[in-house]
């Protein structure tokens, strides 16, 4: 299961970071606030991916 999930999670994080960058550009978020936005979104997505993996693993 991990063989498929880890590459998929990496792709998801990469795409989410691209979308976050587009959001920062579109909403003109200041440079000093962007790292906080990226960190928050990455932590939340990582929690979501880990909980999804655990759910699939024990289902």
Please write the tens of the pLDDT for every residue from 1-47: 778 999 999 999 999 999 999 999 999 999 999 999 999 999 999 99
pLDDT reading at 50 higher than 90: yes
Q: How far apart are CA 26 and CA 33, in angstroms?
A: 14
Do residues 57 and 6 touch, judged by C-beta distance below 8 A?
Answer: no
Q: Report pLDDT for 2.
A: 79
As a dihedral over the C-alpha atoms of residue 33, residue 34, residue 35, residue 41, rounded to 10 degrees, the angle is 110
Distances (CA, A) of 27 to 35, 36, 50: 15, 15, 29
Total number of domains in the chain: 1
Residue pointed to by tokens 């792709």: 11
Query: What is the span of the domain harbouring residue 28?
Result: 1-58
Q: Report pLDDT for 59.
A: 83
């Amino acid at each position: 299961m991990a063989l498929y999930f880890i590459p998929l999670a990496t792709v998801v994080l990469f795409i989410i970071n691209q979308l976050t960058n587009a959001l920062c550009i579109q909403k003109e978020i200041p440079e000093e606030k962007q790292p906080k936005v990226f960190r928050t979104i990455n932590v939340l997505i990582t929690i979501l991916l880990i909980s999804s993996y655990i759910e699939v693993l024990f289902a």
